[in-house]
Each structure stands twice: as structure tokens, then as C-alpha cells.
């Protein structure tokens, strides 16, 4: 994470909004033209991108590396599972609610530690927490289904009181796209607000921010909460798409992949994580045709090289090219 | 032997040294005087490569120091006694000395003799040789810091405020050591706020103010006309 | 009661192996502020190399030495190519870089040795009876060996000329350079030593549970915990902390399943970070 001057809130360039709209249209059209496998793939990219974006709030804006986002993601999954298994008829919005509450609860816990620990210690403790959650979920078989996880049926897309219908892969994709776009716009609004400026200032120079008079702890707590909530939302969406919740997703590997998406796509850009997720997942798909399971070797090497030489990630790199 | 030509330096964005030019010839004791914060320590740090040099040239025996790695300076004959002393607190006195003693090109016999010489100049260090550096008093730490530099058998020692915070008896001891070093042919660039000591020990003196050298004279001239000292240091 | 004695034995033996792993990690952190995410993977590679050498020569001790040397060289190479350029950048960058290395090492091992579990046969055969349990002698031998190696490391650091260089650089890098100590070389050497310790631990631990690509992660996690609890950079502290944590886990395993016993370590870590961040066994907080 190279030091960049805190971005000043400039009105977004026209080019940005054009790009945004183009991508948006592509994403809306995607499920209509792609074969089923790639349909799902596109939806998954959105979900993982959302997860990575939630992590970007911490890594890219506040300067806190989290190796534990798999915990929020997993809790979102299991929270949704809880709603869908215990309440009949299964309600979509209840699943979302339960998932967010579960993830939010964990976020409060982590937020407490975020304020007491700095840097490396925080990163290690997030790793430890997600492992604790993993162990609990893995071994508490009666409640969480242990190793096998939980399966449930997909709820219907419902606007309460008005209309409900089953999901098709296409409508589900649009639903996810909708949630992701709303989340993105929300987070973008937040990071470009004065609040977001303070976060960046914390990343640049925490002692100075504190000296100026900002209550750094409060900002960090809110940042962690936001990050956890959106990560939980991603978990809910993933659970609903796949109709299961499994402990594998709470394991460290997911947290590690999230960090990879962040670095490769570009930290502090919000869109970068989506690009990083897409890049990584496509790379995985493509390389696995040639290298079978060993695709991670070139990916790992690329990742390490990017950390060393292109820490701004793909998007940061492009941005520099486009705005000299 | 040591030449700073028009040296500029920056700490991040602030411009801390402006066109500093200083020279120390072989075997000379040169003083660097000035109020707190004028850039005396920064000048020494620039020589040691610890501050980013943004202009000018620093050369030692003709060789540009810009291309020398920080750990190569000791080998060239430059030793540094920093303002905070920077004793290795968790190492014993002997181990502190060994960081300099155990360098390539010395034989065990030579090391023994060097160590004995140091102990003769600083008997208190022999007494405390197995004690951890951090347990020594301020004055003893200063002795150790100087001894550590001497162990490198340097051609020049950069001495930064050696008498700061010391009792008068210790100050006299430091003065004695500076004389001894001079007699042994070691050049010294002495940064100090203690004016009488500096004027006594040094042959020439530079006076700094706000990151630049403002005055340069022989110690004799400065002793003769105290108004200059008064103007720059208010003493 | 006999359960407690058995668990104490387990805890001590595991603690010694963990101490070897953690010692490398704490040395590396103490001197160059690098949290080496790939440390467990160096252990894993050591185990694989050891298993291969053992398979070819049939000699355990040769395998141990070969693994240590091979991984030491690898560690030195990694440090020079990947970590040295990052000196001076913020510490989280090095965490990410070592994380990337960890990924590559794991996948490389998978590619090189395949997914099946390798075995390292016991260096010392036979078992003795402890209450109702048959306890293998090699585990005692492992603990003793680990102790010897750690003792050797401690002596090296305390008395050797290079030990002094390492300790001086750890305390004050700038002053060490001013004294002519070639700090970049010291960094590489320490990383190599840490890697060798990890590799040796891997070979020592091999007979316990077999050699797999993912065996490193658990060790990395536990080693992190030990290093924090023992005081970062504090060799003696990490040895004590390793034994302390392993004993706690062993005792916890009486009550809960072994998989859950690991939570105890996590709790100790969290408490340490909150209340004694310089380390549980560090007498005076700095």
C-alpha cells in the first residue's frame, strides 16, 4: 500500500459514469446471452466482488488489513440458512436480515479489537477470529451441520404483500446485480463523504488524524461494521444462489482470496475488487483447463509480483494511465 | 579529508540543510556550533547517509560517499557517536565493543591490544564489561559510545554533543579524551553546545544557523572576539 | 490423574517442536519486522524434502540435515528476491508478499509431490508403556533433539561473533550499520536460519502425522500466537510460550475435542494482545 494523497471529492468524470453505465448494461444483458455455466459464473463474480469490496473499505480506505473476512461471509451464509430452515414459508428478506444480523454481530466483536490493536496485531487477530468461527462451525454439528453444512431450498423473490415468484437464474442474477449496485453506490457515497475522507486520513497517518482531534476509534468501529455487513450480505447472496451453507467458506482460504482480489484489482478503488475478483476467477477457469489444479502457482507468482511492483492493482494502474 | 560541498538535505518535504560546506583535514579537530535545531546533528546524519541528500557532494579521502552503503562507512574509517549514544542496551559492555572489534582484517592479537588500550582509557568499562549496556549510567554510556567508536580505529570520529547532560567531572573526562584522540592523530568533527570546551579542543569552528553555515573561523579568533559567539548562540 | 500426566507429556513434546518453529519466526520478526506468512510452508517443504531424501537414502539424520540446508538456501533466495526490495515499505506489504509466497510454495509442493500423504519413518523405534498407553520413544527423542537444536541456537546467538551481530542488528539496525555490520547480509542469514529451523521442525514432526501440503498452516497460526504471547523478537519468551500454549491445549483436549482445544490458544492470544501486548513472559512492558 503505497501512500497516495487522500483523494479530494471531485465530481465524477463523465467518462466514469459512461463506463459505469456500459458495464451495467453488459451485466444486465449477460444472463440473457450467456450459456448456463457462464450465467452462474457472472453472478458469482458479482458476489465475490461484493465481498472483496467490503474488504476494500478496510484495506483500501482505512488502512487495516483483514485476514478474517471469511468469518463475516460465512456468518451471512449461516444466518440466511437459519432463516430459511426455521421459518416457513422461507422468506428472502428474512434470510437477508438474519444474515446481516449474524455478520453484524461478529463485526461488533471484531470492531472492538480493531480499536485496541494496530496493524499486524489486528491482521493476525482477524485471522485467528475467523479460525475460531471455523472451528466452532465445524464442530458444532448439531446446529451447523458440521462438515457437511446445511442445505435448504431457495426462497422466492418476493415483495411482501405485492407479488412473489420463483427465481430463475436470470432473475436471480438481476436480483444480485441490483443488490450489488445498491451496495456499491452506498459504499461509494460513504467513502466520498467527509466520513470517508477521515478514513483515508487514518490510513495515511493515524497519529496525525488523532492529533487533529478525530476520534479515530469511532471511525474504525464504523468502518469495521460497514465492512462486516456488506461481507455478510455477500454471504447471504451466495447461500441463496447455491442453496447451501458450508464451513469451507469460513476457512482462511476465502479470506486469502479476498485479499488477492483487493490487491490485484486495486485497493481503495471500490471497483477494483470487482475487477480483481473477475480477473482471478477467470484466470482460475482458464488456467485450470491447462494446469488443472496448479493454476495457483502462476496466480501466486503474479500476486506476489503485483504486491511488489504494482501495489495499486489493475485499476490503479489503469487510472494512472488514463489520468496522467 | 572529509569534504562537504554545498550539501542540501530534506526530511520528507522540509528542507533542512542549505548549501552546507564543511571541511575536516587529517588529524584536525573541527567544531560545529549552533543553537538547538539548526541542523548540526542533521549534518552528521547526512554524512552517515541517514538523511536524504538532495544536493551537493560529500567526499571522504576523495571518494564520493553517495555510492557507499551505510555499513561501508566504518570500513572507510568514519566512526559515529550519535547524540543519543545508542548503546546496544541488551548487549554487555564487552559485546558492545565487539560489534566494532570483530571486523575483518583484525587479528586476535591486535584485538586484544586494542581492547586493553580502551580499558586503560576507560577503566570503568573494564569493571563493567559483563554488565548490560542499558544498566550503565549516562556518563558511562557516553564513555562506552566513544570507546565503541575508537575500537573501529577510525580516521575521523563524528562526535555529537558528547557532554550533553553530564556532570562537570564527566565533562572534564570527555575533554581529556578528545585531547587524547587528537594526540593519536584521529580527526574529530565535534558538534557541541558547550562553547568553552569546543573552543579549547578545536582548531577551527563552523557556526550554523537555520540549516546553513553562517560563520567560519579559527578557535583562536573566536576566543579573542566573543561577540561572534554571542551573536549566534546568545552566550 | 494419569490423563493429566499423559497430556503433560503430549504438551511438552508438541511444545518443543512448536518452539523450534516459533524461534525462527520470532528471530525473523525481531530483526526485520517481517511477519512471515510462509513460515509454515517452509516447514512443509522441509518435511517433503526430508521424506524424499529419507526415501532415497534410508537415513533419517541425513534427511534432517539435507532438508534444513535445502530450505535455508530457498529461504535466502526468497528473502533476497522478494523481501529485500520491500524493506522500508509498510509492514502490511510484507505480510501480503509472504502470503503470496505461501500460496506458491503450497501449490508447488502439490505439483512436485502430488496429493498423497508422505510418510517419514521414525528415527528411533520402539515404545514404552505409560499407564494404559503405548508411547513411542521417538517422540521423546524428538523433544530432546529440538531442545538440543534450540540450545545450540541460543549459544550461537549469545557467544558467537555473528550472534552478536544478529542481536545488535535486532536492537538498533542503524547503529549496527554504523559499526560496519553488513546488515543486508545479516537479514538474509537470519531468514535462512529461521527457514532451516522450520524445515528441521517439519522433518521432526513428520513421523507424528504424515506430510501433507496443508500441514504448514496450522503451524503458522500457532507460531504467530506463540510469537505474540512470548514477546515478538524474544527467543526465550517464545520457547516458554510454546510450551505453555501446548500444555494448555493438551489439557483442554481432556475436556473438549482436539479440534476445539485450539480455541484455548486463540483465547490466550487475544488476552495477551489486549492486556500485555509486549508478551506474557516479558517482565517489564517497554
User: For a pLDDT cut of 90, what percent of chain A falls above it?
Assistant: 14
Per-residue pLDDT of A218-244, as tens digits, reads: 888 999 999 999 999 999 999 888 888
Mean pLDDT of the region B2-13: 87
Domain coordinates in residue numbering, chain A: 59-250, 253-324
Per-residue pLDDT of C118-158, as tens digits, reads: 888 877 777 777 777 778 888 888 999 999 999 999 999 98
DSSP-derived secondary structure letter, A156:
B
Task: Please tell me the distance in Å from C95's CA to the nearest CA on chain A.
Answer: 8
Structural domain includes residue C266: no
Residues of C in contact with B100 (CB under 8 A): 179-180
Q: Which CATH architecture has domain B2-233?
A: 3-Layer(aba) Sandwich (3.40)
Domain coordinates in residue numbering, chain B: 2-233
- Considering only the beta carbons, identify the residue of C168, C180, C184 that sits closest to B91: C168
Q: Assess whether pLDDT exceeds 80 at residue B152.
A: yes
Q: Would the CB atoms of C96 and A2 count as touching at under 8 Å?
A: no
Nearest CA in chain C to B77: C180
Residues of B in contact with C161 (CB under 8 A): 98, 102
Higher pLDDT, A25 or B112: B112
Under a CB-based contact definition with an 8 Å cutoff, are residues A39 and A169 in contact?
A: yes
Under a CB-based contact definition with an 8 Å cutoff, are residues C98 and C37 in contact?
A: yes
Which run of H or of E encompasses B54? strand B52-60
Q: Assess whether pLDDT exceeds 90 at residue A303.
A: no
Q: Would the CB atoms of B95 and C164 count as touching at under 8 Å?
A: yes
- What CA–CA distance (Å, rounded) separates B55 from B110? 40
Q: A24 to each of A18, A27, A44, A178, A315, how far by Cα in Å? A: 10, 5, 16, 10, 17
Q: Assess whether pLDDT exceeds 60 at residue A11.
A: no
Task: Please tell me the distance in Å from C73's CA to the nearest CA on chain B.
Answer: 24
Q: How confident is the model at residue A293 (pLDDT cuts 50, 70, 90)?
A: low
Residue with cell 444480485: A176
Mean pLDDT of the region A199-209: 84
- What CA–CA distance (Å, rounded) separates C7 from C15? 12
Q: Assess whether pLDDT exceeds 50 at residue A140.
A: yes
Residues of C in contact with A126 (CB under 8 A): none
Under a CB-based contact definition with an 8 Å cutoff, are residues A274 and A52 in contact?
A: yes
Q: Which residues touch B231 (CB under 8 Å, ≥6 apart)?
A: none
DSSP-derived secondary structure letter, A54:
H
Question: Residue C284: what pLDDT?
Answer: 53
Region at B119 (left for phi over 0; alpha for psi -120 to 50; beta for the rest): alpha
Mean pLDDT of the region B208-215: 88
Question: Residue A18: what pLDDT?
Answer: 78
Per-residue pLDDT of B85-108, as tens digits, reads: 999 999 999 999 999 988 887 888
- What CA–CA distance (Å, rounded) separates A154 from A166? 8
Q: Would the CB atoms of A307 and C97 count as touching at under 8 Å?
A: yes
List of chains touching C (3+ CB pairs within 8 A): A, B
Question: Residue C286: what pLDDT?
Answer: 43
Higher pLDDT, B44 or A151: B44
Question: Residue C135: what pLDDT?
Answer: 82
Q: Does any CB of chain C come closer than 8 Å to the CB of residue A256?
A: yes
Under a CB-based contact definition with an 8 Å cutoff, are residues B44 and B88 in contact?
A: no
* 3 state DSSP class of B79: strand
Q: How confident is the model at residue A2 (pLDDT cuts 50, 70, 90)?
A: very low
- Its pTM stands at 0.87
Question: Residue A229: what pLDDT?
Answer: 94
Q: Which residues touch B53 (CB under 8 Å, ≥6 apart)?
A: B7, B8, B9, B46, B66
Under a CB-based contact definition with an 8 Å cutoff, are residues B95 and B151 in contact?
A: no
Mean pLDDT of the region A264-292: 82
Q: Assess whether pLDDT exceeds 50 at residue A3.
A: no
* Residue A58, all three cell numbers: 478496510
Mutation site, A121, A147, A204, A259, interface C, largest C CB count within 10 A: A121
Q: Which mean pLDDT values do the consecutive 10-residue runs of chain C (286 residues) have?
A: 83 93 92 88 94 88 93 95 85 82 89 84 77 82 92 91 92 92 94 95 89 88 89 87 92 83 85 81 57
- What CA–CA distance (Å, rounded) separates C117 from C105? 17
Sheet hosting strand B78-81, strand order edge to edge: B78-81, B156-160, B187-192, B29-33, B204-209, B212-218
Instruction: Tell me the DSSP string of chain C.
Output: -HHHHHHHHHHHHHHHHHHHHHHHHHHHHHHH----TTHHHHHHHHHHHHHHHHHHH--HHHHHHHHHHHHHHHHHHHIIIIIGGGTTS-HHHHHHHHHHHHHHHHHHHHHHH-SSPB----SS--EEEETTEEEEHHHHHHHHHHHHHHHHHHHHHHHSHHHHHHHHHHH-HHHHHHTT--HHHHHHHHHHHHHHHHHHHHHHHHHHH-B-TTHHHHHHHHHHHHHHHH-TT-HHHHHHHHHHHHHHHHHHHHHS-HHHHHHHHHHHHHHHHHH-TT-TT-SS--
Q: C90 to each of C45, C94, C174, how far by Cα in Å? A: 28, 7, 18
Structural domain includes residue C37: yes
Residue among C97, C95, C103 at smallest CA distance from C44: C103
Question: Residue C266: what pLDDT?
Answer: 86
> Is A in contact with B (3 or more beta carbon pairs below 8 Å)?
no
C→B interface, C-beta within 8 Å = 161, 164-165, 167-168, 171-172, 174-184
Question: Residue A163: what pLDDT?
Answer: 67
Question: Residue A292: what pLDDT?
Answer: 65
What is the domain count for chain C? 1
Residue with cell 451441520: A145
* Residue C18, all three cell numbers: 512448536
Angle between helices C235-255 and C137-159 (to 10 degrees): 160
Identify how many contiguous H helices and E strands chain A contains and give both numbers: 14, 4
Q: How confident is the model at residue A9 (pLDDT cuts 50, 70, 90)?
A: very low
Q: Does any CB of chain C come closer than 8 Å to the CB of residue A131?
A: yes
Cβ neighbours of C283 (radius 10 Å): 8
* 3 state DSSP class of B21: strand
* Residue B123, all three cell numbers: 577503566
Q: Assess whether pLDDT exceeds 60 at residue B36.
A: yes
Under a CB-based contact definition with an 8 Å cutoff, are residues B222 and B230 in contact?
A: no
Residue with cell 468461527: A133
Higher pLDDT, A19 or A57: A57
Q: Would the CB atoms of A307 and C228 count as touching at under 8 Å?
A: no
Average pLDDT, chain B: 89
Q: Which residues touch B195 (CB under 8 Å, ≥6 apart)?
A: B33, B229, B233, B235
> What is the ipTM metric for this complex?
0.90
Structural domain includes residue C168: yes
**Strand duo B14-24 + B156-160: pairing:** unpaired
Q: Assess whether pLDDT exceeds 60 at residue A4.
A: no
Q: Would the CB atoms of C174 and B75 count as touching at under 8 Å?
A: no
Q: Does any CB of chain C come closer than 8 Å to the CB of residue B132?
A: no
Residues of C in contact with A117 (CB under 8 A): 273-274, 277
Higher pLDDT, A321 or C133: C133
Amino acid at each position: 500500500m503505497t501512500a497516495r494523497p487522500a483523494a479530494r471529492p471531485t465530481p465524477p468524470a463523465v467518462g466514469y459514469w459512461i463506463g459505469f453505465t456500459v458495464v451495467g448494461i453488459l451485466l444486465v444483458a449477460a444472463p440473457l446471452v450467456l450459456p448456463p455455466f457462464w450465467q452462474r459464473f457472472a453472478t458469482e463474480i458479482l458476489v465475490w466482488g461484493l465481498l472483496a469490496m467490503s474488504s476494500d473499505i478496510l484495506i483500501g480506505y482505512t488502512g487495516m488489513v483483514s485476514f478474517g473476512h471469511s468469518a463475516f461471509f460465512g456468518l451471512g451464509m449461516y444466518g440466511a440458512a437459519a432463516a430459511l430452515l426455521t421459518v416457513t414459508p422461507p422468506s428472502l428478506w428474512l434470510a437477508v436480515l438474519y444474515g446481516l444480523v449474524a455478520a453484524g454481530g461478529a463485526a461488533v466483536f471484531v470492531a472492538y479489537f480493531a480499536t485496541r490493536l494496530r496493524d499486524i496485531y489486528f491482521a493476525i487477530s482477524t485471522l485467528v477470529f475467523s479460525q475460531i468461527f471455523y472451528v466452532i462451525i465445524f464442530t458444532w454439528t448439531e446446529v451447523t451441520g458440521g462438515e457437511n453444512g446445511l442445505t435448504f431450498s431457495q426462497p422466492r423473490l418476493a415483495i411482501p404483500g405485492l407479488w412473489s415468484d420463483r427465481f430463475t437464474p436470470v432473475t436471480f442474477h438481476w436480483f444480485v446485480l441490483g443488490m450489488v449496485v445498491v451496495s456499491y453506490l452506498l459504499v461509494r457515497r460513504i467513502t466520498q463523504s467527509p466520513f470517508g475522507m477521515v478514513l483515508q486520513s487514518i490510513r495515511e497517518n493515524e497519529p496525525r488524524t488523532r492529533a487533529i482531534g478525530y476520534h479515530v476509534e469511532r471511525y474504525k468501529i464504523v468502518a469495521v461494521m460497514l465492512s462486516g455487513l456488506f461481507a455478510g450480505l455477500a454471504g447471504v447472496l451466495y447461500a441463496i444462489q447455491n442453496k447451501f451453507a458450508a464451513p469451507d467458506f469460513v476457512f482462511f482460504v476465502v479470506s486469502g482470496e479476498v485479499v488477492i482480489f483487493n490487491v490485484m484489482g486495486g485497493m481503495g478503488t471500490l471497483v477494483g475488487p470487482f475487477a480483481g475478483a473477475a480477473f482471478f476467477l477467470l484466470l482460475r477457469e482458464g488456467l485450470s483447463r491447462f494446469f488443472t489444479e496448479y493454476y495457483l502457482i502462476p496466480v501466486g507468482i503474479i500476486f506476489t509480483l503485483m504486491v511488489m511492483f504494482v501495489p495499486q492493482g489493475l485499476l490503479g494502474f489503469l487510472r494512472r494511465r488514463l489520468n496522467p | 579529508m572529509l569534504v562537504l560541498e554545498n550539501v542540501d538535505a530534506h526530511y520528507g518535504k522540509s528542507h533542512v540543510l542549505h548549501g552546507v560546506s564543511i571541511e575536516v583535514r587529517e588529524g584536525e579537530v573541527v567544531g560545529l556550533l549552533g543553537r538547538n535545531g539548526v541542523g548540526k546533528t542533521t549534518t552528521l546524519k547526512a554524512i552517515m547517509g541517514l538523511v536524504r541528500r538532495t544536493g551537493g557532494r560529500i567526499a571522504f579521502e576523495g571518494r564520493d560517499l553517495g555510492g557507499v552503503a551505510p555499513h561501508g562507512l566504518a570500513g572507510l574509517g568514519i566512526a559515529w557517536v550519535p547524540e543519543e549514544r545508542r548503546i546496544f542496551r541488551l548487549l554487555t559492555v564487552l559485546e558492545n565493543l565487539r560489534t566494532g572489534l570483530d571486523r575483518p582484517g583484525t587479528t586476535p592479537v591486535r584485538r586484544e591490544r586494542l581492547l586493553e588500550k580502551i580499558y586503560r582509557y576507560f577503566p570503568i568499562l573494564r569493571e563493567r564489561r559483563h554488565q548490560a549496556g542499558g544498566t550503565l549510567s549516562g556518563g558511562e554510556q557516553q564513555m562506552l559510545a566513544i570507546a565503541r567508536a575508537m575500537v573501529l580505529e577510525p580516521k575521523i570520529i563524528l562526535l555529537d554533543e558528547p557532554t550533553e547532560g553530564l556532570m562537570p567531572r564527566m565533562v572534564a573526562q570527555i575533554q581529556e579524551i578528545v585531547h587524547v584522540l587528537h594526540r593519536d592523530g584521529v580527526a574529530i568533527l565535534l558538534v557541541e553546545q558547550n562553547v568553552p570546551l569546543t573552543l579549547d579542543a578545536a582548531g577551527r569552528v563552523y557556526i550554523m544557523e537555520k540549516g546553513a553555515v553562517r560563520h567560519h573561523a579559527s578557535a583562536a579568533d573566536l576566543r579573542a572576539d566573543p561577540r561572534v559567539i554571542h551573536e549566534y548562540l546568545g552566550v | 490423574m494419569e490423563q493429566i500426566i499423559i497430556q503433560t507429556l503430549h504438551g511438552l513434546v508438541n511444545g518443543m517442536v512448536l518452539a523450534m518453529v516459533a524461534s525462527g519466526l520470532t528471530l525473523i520478526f525481531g530483526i526485520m519486522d517481517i511477519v512471515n506468512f510462509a513460515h509454515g510452508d517452509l516447514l512443509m517443504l522441509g518435511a517433503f524434502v526430508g521424506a524424499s531424501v529419507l526415501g532415497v537414502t534410508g537415513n533419517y539424520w541425513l534427511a534432517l540435515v539435507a532438508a534444513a540446508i535445502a530450505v535455508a538456501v530457498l529461504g535466502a533466495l526468497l528473502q533476497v528476491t522478494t523481501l529485500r526490495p520491500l524493506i522500508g515499505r509498510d509492514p502490511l506489504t510484507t505480510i501480503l508478499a509472504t502470503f503470496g509466497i505461501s500460496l506458491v510454495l503450497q501449490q508447488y509442493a502439490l505439483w512436485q509431490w502430488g496429493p498423497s500423504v508422505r510418510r517419514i519413518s521414525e528415527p528411533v523405534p520402539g515404545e514404552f508403556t505409560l499407564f494404559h498407553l503405548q508411547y513411542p520413544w521417538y517422540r521423546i527423542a524428538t523433544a530432546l533433539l529440538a531442545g538440543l537444536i534450540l540450545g545450540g541456537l541460543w549459544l550461537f546467538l549469545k557467544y558467537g561473533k555473528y550472534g552478536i551481530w544478529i542481536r545488535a542488528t535486532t536492537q538498533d539496525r542503524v547503529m549496527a550499520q554504523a559499526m560496519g555490520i553488513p546488515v543486508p547480509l545479516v537479514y538474509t542469514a537470519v531468514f535462512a536460519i529461521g527457514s532451516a529451523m522450520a524445515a528441521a521442525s517439519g522433518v521432526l514432526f513428520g513421523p507424528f502425522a504424515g506430510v501433507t501440503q496443508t500441514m504448514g498452516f496450522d503451524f503458522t497460526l500457532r507460531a504467530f500466537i506463540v510469537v505474540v504471547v512470548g514477546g515478538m523478537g524474544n527467543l526465550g519468551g517464545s520457547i516458554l510460550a510454546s510450551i505453555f500454549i501446548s500444555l494448555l491445549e493438551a489439557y483442554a483436549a481432556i475436556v473438549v475435542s482436539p479440534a476445539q482445544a485450539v480455541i484455548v490458544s486463540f483465547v490466550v492470544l487475544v488476552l495477551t494482545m489486549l492486556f500485555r501486548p509486549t508478551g506474557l513472559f516479558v517482565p517489564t512492558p517497554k
